[in-house]
Amino acid sequence: MKVDIKQITEGEESVVIRYRDLTPPIGKIISIINEEDNRLRGKTDEGEVFFSKDDILYLESVDDKVFVYTVDKVVRIDGSLNTFLAGNQDESFFRCSKSMIINVGRVTALKSLSSNRIDATMEGGEHIIISRRYASDFRRLLKGDR
């Protein structure tokens, strides 16, 4: 991939991305450019908080409410898991079951389980089970075939 970077002294700043196939690295670059703010807003028992998407270990939907888990807190956010995924189309977040999304970049260990499931250990030590419905897609993601 060829990269051209030029500093200008006048005129409007612009970014041009040319690609043949929308690969995960290109998708990530596009999402970074399109995102002016990488922060999310949510609620805890102490009140409203802001946090970075990079801090997310996983998201879970419980009783039609979405909770974000970081290493040190649990935050309730508005919307649904589908809404969150639609706004984060890079490969960082993966739907691992009907009610959970994991941050792939925060997985520290993987273990194959019976019935084609995967046990993903997150940075905080939490174990998340990737259901058999999503396990083959997860394996393809890890191989870069997605």
User: Domain ranges in the chain?
Assistant: 38-143
Which carries the bigger pLDDT value, residue 24 or residue 41?
41
- What pLDDT digit, counting tens, does each position of 33-54 carry? 766 556 788 999 888 998 888 8
- Is residue 80 exposed (0-12), middle (13-18) or buried (19+ Cβ within 10 Å)? middle
Fold of 38-143: OB fold (Dihydrolipoamide Acetyltransferase, E2P) (2.40.50)
- What pLDDT digit, counting tens, does each position of 43-91 carry? 998 889 988 888 999 999 999 999 999 998 999 999 899 888 887 777 7
Percent of the chain at pLDDT above 70? 94
pTM flag (> 0.75): no
